[in-house]
């Protein structure tokens, strides 16, 4: 009986050794890790005697989303680059070529782990576009310029705490965050469109007004707008990121929030084509009782840039790769910026939620 047990034990140990030898070893964790997706989506529409109308068109969007992660010991360094450019050709008399999308976003953050999943982090980001943006009229009239590289651009520099339970998910909070907004128009571009923007400030002032790079300054008893290329603000920022890959499916999303610490509730009333403080208006009311402050338009001096009013950037990208080189992608962008005025179809300007969605089928490579 003892011999039988010894034989069985020897067989069991041999089998275990065999399986242990054949079992694949766990892949060694790399200090540097690349991931992302690059590709080109395209579509075409051809119409012949189509009763519902429309025009023949070609559309193409080139894109790339790349993530580089370094993680070793107590140091983590993550860098993301997100670029996209789209162009459409329309078979029509005017505005045959139209830009459909344009994005250049770069972000990097360096962290030191004081806990297995908590990092003291410094972060920097830059967001702008490549090319001139216009409102296409579809006629031979001038297409108004609405954006350009550095008009606008947003540069964020901050220090805070980053929670990273794994390489997929992270949440970052910074109580010391600086945002630099630009609405820069070169002299060459200003002169190029001088005939179409006859106001004293020209195109430069048009874009500075739109993207809020101005402030109210006192000129005598009244207040006026002082336009500038650059506006800086100190505030609070939050950023959440998900970068998930499962076989051929890749999901990348980022939510960024920023609110300035500025809080200037001084009311400026519009009166006789100028802006005056409430105190000045009350003095004027004593001299002229017909002045009714309740009927006068007014606004806060801080241009709505106050703590609790958040700028929002939310991007989502979902891609599925099949047949090794073809992929389906869905990308969305949601933005909201305080002080950025957007006109509706009737020309009424207000702060509005911006949203864009692109669904594409094309060639691409995920890694």
Work out the mean pLDDT of the chain and round it to a whole number. Answer: 88
Question: CA angle, corner 252, sides to 247 and 256, nearest 5?
Answer: 165
147: CB partners within 8 A, 6+ apart: 129, 132, 133, 207
pLDDT digits (tens, 9 = 90+) for 62-84: 999 999 999 888 999 999 999 99
Write out the two tokens for 156.
Answer: 């964020």
Write out the two tokens for 323.
Answer: 């047949």
Whether 11 has a pLDDT exceeding 90, the answer reads: no
pLDDT computed for residue 77 by the predictor: 94
Whether 285 has a pLDDT exceeding 70, the answer reads: yes
Question: Is 358 strand, coil or helix?
Answer: strand
Whether 3 has a pLDDT exceeding 80, the answer reads: no
Q: 289 burial class (0-12, 13-18, 19+ CB within 10 angstroms)?
A: exposed
Distance between CA atoms of 303 and 281, rounded to whole angstroms? Answer: 20
pLDDT computed for residue 15 by the predictor: 36
Structural domains in the chain, sorted by start = 29-265+301-366 (2.40.230)
Torsion of CA 20, 25, 26, 27, to 10 degrees: 180
125: nearest Cα among 110, 140, 105: 105
Question: Is 158 strand, coil or helix?
Answer: strand
Q: Tokens 């242990």 correspond to what residue?
A: 20
CB 350, CB 29: distance < 8 Å: no
Question: CA angle, corner 288, sides to 287 and 293, nearest 5?
Answer: 115
pTM equals: 0.85
pLDDT digits (tens, 9 = 90+) for 175-212: 999 999 999 999 999 999 999 998 889 999 999 999 99
pLDDT digits (tens, 9 = 90+) for 145-182: 999 999 999 999 999 999 999 989 999 999 999 999 99
For 288-312, give the DSSP string.
Answer: -TT--GGGS-EEETTTT--TT--EE
Question: Is 216 strand, coil or helix?
Answer: strand
State how far the alpha carbon of 41 is from the alpha carbons of 44, 62, 65, 314, 363, in Å. 11, 6, 14, 22, 7
Taking residue 28's Cβ as centre, other Cβ atoms within 10 Å add up to 5
What share of the chain has pLDDT > 70, as a percent? 92
CB 254, CB 240: distance < 8 Å: yes
pLDDT computed for residue 365 by the predictor: 82
Helix ranges, the chain (H): 2-22, 187-192, 202-210, 278-287
């Amino acid at each position: 009986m003892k011999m039988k047990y010894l034989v069985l034990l020897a067989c069991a140990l041999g089998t275990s050794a065999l399986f242990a030898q054949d079992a694949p070893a766990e892949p060694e964790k790399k200090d540097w890790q690349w991931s992302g997706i690059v590709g080109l989506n395209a579509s075409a529409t051809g119409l012949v005697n189509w009763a519902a109308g429309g025009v023949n068109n070609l559309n193409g969007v080139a894109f790339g989303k790349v993530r580089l992660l370094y993680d070793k010991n107590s140091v983590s360094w993550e860098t993301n680059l997100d670029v996209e450019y789209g162009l459409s050709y329309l078979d029509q008399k005017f505005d045959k070529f139209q830009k459909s999308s344009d994005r250049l976003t770069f972000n990097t953050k360096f962290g030191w782990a004081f806990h297995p999943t908590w990092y003291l982090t410094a972060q920097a980001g830059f967001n702008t576009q490549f090319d001139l943006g216009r409102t296409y009229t579809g006629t031979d009239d001038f297409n108004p310029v609405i954006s350009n590289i550095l008009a606008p651009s947003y540069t964020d520099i901050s220090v805070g705490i980053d929670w990273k339970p794994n390489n997929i998910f992270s949440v970052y909070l910074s109580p010391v965050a600086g945002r630099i907004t630009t609405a820069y128009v070169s002299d060459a571009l200003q002169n190029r469109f001088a005939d179409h923007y006859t106001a004293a400030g020209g195109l430069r002032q048009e874009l500075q007004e739109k993207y809020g790079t101005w402030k109210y300054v006192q000129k005598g008893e009244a207040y006026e707008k002082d336009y500038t290329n650059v506006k800086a603000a100190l505030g609070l920022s939050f950023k959440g990121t998900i970068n998930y890959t499962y076989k051929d499916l890749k999901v990348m999303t980022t939510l960024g929030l920023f609110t300035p610490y500025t809080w200037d509730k001084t009311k400026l009333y519009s009166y006789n084509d100028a802006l005056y403080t409430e105190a000045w208006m009350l003095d004027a009311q004593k001299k002229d009782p017909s002045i009714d402050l309740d009927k006068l338009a007014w606004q806060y001096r801080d241009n709505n840039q106050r703590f609790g009013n958040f700028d929002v950037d939310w991007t989502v990208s979902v891609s599925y790769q099949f047949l090794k080189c073809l992929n389906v992608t869905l990308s969305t962008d949601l933005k909201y910026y305080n002080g950025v005025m957007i006109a509706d179809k009737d020309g009424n300007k207000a702060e509005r939620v911006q949203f864009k969605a692109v669904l594409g089928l094309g060639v691409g490579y995920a890694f």
